[in-house]
């Protein structure tokens, strides 16, 4: 296991009432969690056999959420969407998620800085977020991808030479991006989603190159909405679920359990009936779930929230489902990984992240040691070697800041040090929050 040195940066005192945020400013995309809720621990273990790898997660929380966003009937034919990713949602309507970034060494810097090297000025939910119209007008992000924001990307996908001046819109041309992808210069992204994927028995497979992109194939969710009719496209099937809709009052009281129809899918729905006598408070999930295809659906998911923790198992082939969006794994290999946890009804960047770590398949020197078993499906959990990984609020640390105003910018630019060389977890999380407050106060 790697060792860390004590951070040298001076820290500002951080005080708040238990559970209370330190700073909230929606106009600037600011929600800084208070002391005691800005950090926690993610437990990770792994097993593998001749063909598959299985990642095990345990995350303790007393605020689990398998809800996401919902349409709520207001009367007079109007349906209103509830559920926001800004800070903790006021109604508790945002799903829990656990994500893993995985690399085989092809993305230079990821082993040293983890997910922070994918965060850049101009990204959505940052104070510096790019205007939606500017993103739509961009030939690659807007015109080709159909996006209206900037999301995570690796520095290699931009043509800016100076990392301190890296610009969101300096996207490399299509041939250059294709060359990077063919060479494996992208980050594999496994996203377990409690609402949008788990009920279908999968995690969402994706990757990060010039944007946070989905892997090849059909996704496991789409929007439950009929644009032409201005109403949901599907309702619950009463013969399967005993109801056509959920009840808003019961939903916000969190009375729908994991075995209730809190989601809507191809297996429990019918086409929406506009002639039904809909009542104010009738509620339908905003996401419609379906069986995925291709590499997008290549990660199987199982488990549930029990005994005070999420206990989740993700299983994928050692072979890359698609070499252009997933990384292959092999016995004896050591891979760079970083994790993110969205728990507490939060979305976007209001999550907790780990430092970069290593995952080794039967390699004792790795931070997370994947244990070889005969069959990952039947292996005894006693064989697991759990790693306890601290996770923390990431603040508004960007790649540009790390290479410019950051006290260790010169070392970052040299590429000779890792975040582990300069920071201890407990001090790092305080430093990140103090620095965000300082920058916002300028």
Convert the pLDDT of each residue in 203-218 to its tens digit: 999 999 999 999 999 9
Q: What is the mean pLDDT of the chain?
A: 94
What is the pTM assigned to this prediction?
Answer: 0.94
In a domain, 262, yes or no: no
pLDDT in tens, 168-198: 999 999 999 999 999 999 999 999 999 999 9
Asked if residue 16 has pLDDT above 50, the reply is no
In a domain, 267, yes or no: no
Whether the CB-CB separation of 327 and 311 falls below 8 Å is answered with no
In a domain, residue 180? The reply is yes
| 331 located within any domain | yes
Beta carbons within 8 Å of 166's beta carbon, 6+ residues apart = 120, 121, 155, 158, 160, 399, 400
Residue 135 maps to a domain = yes
Tokens 């060494």 sit at which residue? 105
pLDDT digits (tens, 9 = 90+) for 244-303: 999 999 999 999 999 999 999 999 999 999 999 999 999 999 999 999 999 999 999 999
| d(C-alpha 212, C-alpha 96), whole Å | 19
Q: At 110, list the tokens.
A: 């990821």
Q: What's the pLDDT at 231? A: 98
Within 10 angstroms of residue 159's Cβ, the number of other Cβ atoms is 12
- In a domain, residue 227? The reply is no
Inform me whether the pLDDT recorded for 4 exceeds 70. no
Beta bridge partners of 102: 188, 337
Report the pLDDT value the prediction gives residue 19, as an integer from 0 to 100. 65
* Dist. CA 70–CA 91, nearest whole Å: 11
How many domains, in total, are found in the chain?
Answer: 1
Confidence of residue 437 (pLDDT cuts 50, 70, 90): very high
Q: Would you say residue 103 has pLDDT above 50? A: yes
Q: CATH number for the domain including 320?
A: 2.60.40
C-beta of residue 59 within 8 angstroms of C-beta of residue 43: yes
Burial class (CB in 10 A: 0-12, 13-18, 19+), 364: exposed
What's the domain range around 299? 44-61+96-220+291-404
| Residue indicated by tokens 């995952």 | 359
Residue at 442 is within a domain? no
DSSP string, 44-79: EEEEE-SSEEEEEEEEE-SS------EEEEEETTEE
Has residue 3 got a pLDDT over 70? Answer: no
Q: Which two tokens stand for residue 35?
A: 């002391």
Residue 87, domain member (yes or no): no
More confident of the two residues 344 and 208: 208
């Amino acid at each position: 296991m790697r060792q860390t040195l004590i951070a040298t940066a001076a820290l500002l005192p951080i005080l708040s009432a238990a559970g209370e945020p330190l700073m909230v400013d929606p106009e600037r995309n600011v929600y800084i969690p208070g002391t005691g809720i800005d950090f926690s621990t993610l437990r990770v273990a792994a097993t593998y056999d001749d063909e598959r790898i299985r990642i095990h997660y345990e995350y303790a929380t007393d605020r689990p959420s398998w809800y996401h966003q919902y349409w709520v009937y207001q009367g007079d034919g109007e349906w209103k969407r509830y559920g926001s990713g800004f800070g903790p949602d006021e109604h508790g309507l945002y799903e829990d998620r656990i994500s893993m970034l995985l690399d085989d060494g092809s993305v230079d810097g990821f082993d040293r800085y983890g997910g922070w090297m994918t965060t850049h000025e101009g990204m959505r939910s940052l104070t510096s977020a790019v205007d939606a119209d500017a993103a739509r007008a961009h030939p690659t992000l807007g015109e080709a991808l159909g996006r209206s924001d900037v999301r995570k990307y690796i520095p290699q996908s931009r043509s800016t030479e100076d990392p301190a001046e890296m610009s969101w819109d300096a996207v490399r041309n299509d041939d250059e991006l294709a060359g990077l992808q063919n060479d494996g210069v992208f980050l594999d992204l496994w996203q377990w989603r409690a609402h949008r994927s788990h009920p279908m028995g999968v995690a969402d497979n994706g990757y990060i190159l010039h944007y946070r992109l989905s892997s090849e194939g059909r996704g496991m969710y789409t929007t439950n909405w009929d644009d032409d009719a201005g109403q949901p496209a599907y309702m619950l099937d009463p013969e399967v679920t005993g109801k056509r809709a959920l009840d808003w009052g019961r939903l916000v009281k969190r009375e729908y359990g994991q075995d209730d129809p809190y989601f809507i899918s191809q297996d429990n729905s019918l086409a929406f009936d506009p002639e039904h006598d809909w009542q104010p408070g009738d509620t339908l999930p905003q996401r419609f779930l379906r069986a995925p295809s291709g590499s997008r659906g290549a990660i199987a998911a199982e488990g549930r929230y029990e005994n005070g923790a999420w206990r989740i198992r993700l299983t994928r082939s050692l072979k890359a489902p698609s070499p252009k969006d997933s990384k292959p794994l092999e016995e004896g290999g050591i891979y760079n990984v970083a994790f993110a946890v969205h728990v507490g009804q939060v979305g976007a960047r209001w999550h907790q992240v780990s430092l970069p770590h290593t995952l080794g398949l039967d390699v004792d020197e790795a931070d997370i040691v994947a244990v070889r078993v005969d069959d990952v499906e039947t292996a005894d959990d006693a064989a697991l070697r759990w790693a306890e990984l601290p996770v923390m609020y990431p603040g508004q640390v960007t790649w540009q800041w790390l290479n410019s105003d950051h006290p260790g910018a010169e070392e970052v630019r040299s590429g000779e040090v890792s975040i582990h060389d300069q920071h201890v977890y407990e001090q790092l999380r305080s430093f990140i929050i103090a620095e965000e407050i300082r920058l916002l106060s300028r």
